[in-house]
Amino acid sequence: MRSLSNILQLGIKELRSLARDPALVALIIYAFSLSIYSSATAMPETPNRATIAVVDEDRSQVSARLKDAFQLPYFLPPTLIDHRQMDQGMDSGLYTFTLNIPPDFQRDLLAGEQPAIQLNVDATQVSQAFSGAGHIRQIIQSETAAFVQRYQGSAKQPVEAVVRIAYNPNLDASWFGAITEVINQITMLSIILTGAALIREREHGTIEHLLVMPVTPLEIMLAKVWAMGLVVLVASGFALRFIVEGWLQVPIQGTMALFLVGTALHLFATTSMGIFLGTVARSMPQLGLLIMLVLIPLQILSGAVTPRESMPVPVQLIMSLAPTTHFVELAQSVLLRGAGLGIVWPKLLALIAIGAVFFYAALRRLRTTLQ
């Protein structure tokens, strides 16, 4: 009971010290709010409310069909303009795309010829120029093909492929981006907060006070783990409920409780990692450099950015020992695909085993530095 009391009191001390550090408090607030929103919406992989203008010199059924094909959320309603307005609009940045449908376009199309349509793209809008041009090209091809088939008929295809998009039917990149950013922030903040807590003890001279108190290195470490882990756990739950679901309107398919259980096990490993790095570094700048060397590979090679199957086999084997790999698969399965305990329990066991190894290594290192 005395040991549990020490762990509780030391953890409360860590929370109070964190509350008196405005820089870390601001980092936590930003990481689980604006950072998630900006990462999910800043650079869309598909056009989003792109501006487009149309110079319709044909005034035919097919040209009207092409104009009606540009719809929200990919494109704003097309603006009908003339040639003079097209140049002015592109120069002033009013339109990202301008489409020029030439005269007699429908007649030439039905005659079996290959009329050309001019598409002008403002490439300074780099986030939407490339992907938007591809979307427009696909729209033109599909709409003109459907129009011609209605008048000329076409041979029936022997096989028809029916595509059903699961879990993200609109292919909205913000759904995946928001969840990925929450995962990344959980890993980053847990390592930073625990490492900074240990560095702060050394810089303020309170580590000597702890050494003369009747507490053990195990109690000191457990206190930092549960205190900093609790902060990140509460912040991640808040971010999912109010930022991801509320602000970004991303539907959460699985149960929040199962995700938080997996997050707690992941935090057990990453907070231990933060303490280990805190024992190696001697100052906050050194801790920052160490975290960059560790965090970037963990995030890039965990499968959150690119599929692990596309990586070399040795890299896959090495990253199977990292907690981020199993946490990414667990989080995506629960939050995006609605997986239950019967599917993700191997990932929970892997996080427990990896966390125990990381905790033991950090505890041994902490005992060595406190002697």
Q: Measured between alpha carbons, how far is 184 from 168 in angstroms, rounded to an integer? A: 21
- Would you say residue 125 has pLDDT above 80? no
* pLDDT-derived band at 356, boundaries 50, 70, 90: very high
Task: Give domain status of residue 165, yes or no.
Answer: no
Task: Give domain status of residue 237, yes or no.
Answer: yes
Quick one: 179 and 255 in the same domain?
A: yes
Quick one: 110 and 216 in the same domain?
A: no
What's the pLDDT score for residue 123? 80
Taking phi first (over 0 means left), then psi (-120 to 50 degrees means alpha), and beta for anything else, what does residue 55 get? Answer: beta
For residue 285, give Cα distances in angstroms to 192, 219, 281, 282, 324: 12, 27, 8, 9, 24
* pLDDT-derived band at 162, boundaries 50, 70, 90: confident
Quick one: 277 and 137 in the same domain?
A: no
Task: Give domain status of residue 83, yes or no.
Answer: yes
Quick one: 38 and 59 in the same domain?
A: no
Q: Is the CB of residue 196 less than 8 Å from the CB of residue 287?
A: yes
Provide the whole-model pTM: 0.77
Quick one: 95 and 225 in the same domain?
A: no
**Considering the chain, what is the average pLDDT of its residues?**
87
* pLDDT-derived band at 228, boundaries 50, 70, 90: very high
For residue 115, give the CATH number of its domain.
Answer: 3.40.1710.10
The percentage of residues in the chain with a pLDDT greater than 70, rounded to a whole number, is 96
What's the pLDDT score for residue 271? 94
Two structure tokens written together for 324: 């981020």
The percentage of residues in the chain with a pLDDT greater than 90, rounded to a whole number, is 36
Task: Give domain status of residue 163, yes or no.
Answer: no
141-145, 159-163, 175-179, 358-362: lowest mean pLDDT where?
159-163
Quick one: 146 and 95 in the same domain?
A: yes
Quick one: 116 and 147 in the same domain?
A: yes
What's the pLDDT score for residue 127? 67
- Among 93, 117, 152, where does a domain finish? 152
**End-to-end CA separation in angstroms for the chain:** 25
Quick one: 280 and 349 in the same domain?
A: yes
Two structure tokens written together for 5: 């009391």
pLDDT digits 0-9 by tens, 252-279: 988 999 999 999 999 999 999 999 998 8
Give the count of domains, the chain: 2
Q: Is the CB of residue 101 less than 8 Å from the CB of residue 117?
A: yes
* pLDDT-derived band at 304, boundaries 50, 70, 90: confident
- Would you say residue 118 has pLDDT above 80? yes
Quick one: 240 and 343 in the same domain?
A: yes
Q: What sign does the dihedral 155-158-160-161 (CA atoms) show?
A: negative
Q: Measured between alpha carbons, how far is 205 from 190 in angstroms, rounded to an integer? A: 23
Give the residue, 255 or 161, on which the prediction is more confident.
255
What's the pLDDT score for residue 2? 80
Residues 177-205 have a mean pLDDT of 89
- Would you say residue 365 has pLDDT above 80? yes
Task: Give domain status of residue 158, yes or no.
Answer: no
8-22, 39-53, 168-182, 241-255: lowest mean pLDDT where?
39-53
pLDDT digits 0-9 by tens, 72-113: 878 889 989 888 888 888 888 888 899 998 898 888 888 888
Which structural domain range is residue 123 located in? 52-152
Residues 202-227 have a mean pLDDT of 82
Residue 8 neighbours by CB distance under 10 Å: 15
Give the residue, 209 or 166, on which the prediction is more confident.
166
Quick one: 34 and 56 in the same domain?
A: no
- Would you say residue 11 has pLDDT above 60? yes
- Would you say residue 361 has pLDDT above 90? yes
- Would you say residue 192 has pLDDT above 90? yes
Residues 6+ apart with CB under 8 A from 130: none
What's the pLDDT score for residue 234? 96
Quick one: 99 and 182 in the same domain?
A: no
Residues 27-47 have a mean pLDDT of 83
Task: Give domain status of residue 230, yes or no.
Answer: yes
Give the residue, 226 or 47, on which the prediction is more confident.
226
Q: Which of 67-71, 172-176, 223-227 has the highest mean pLDDT?
A: 223-227
- Would you say residue 145 has pLDDT above 90? no
Quick one: 90 and 239 in the same domain?
A: no
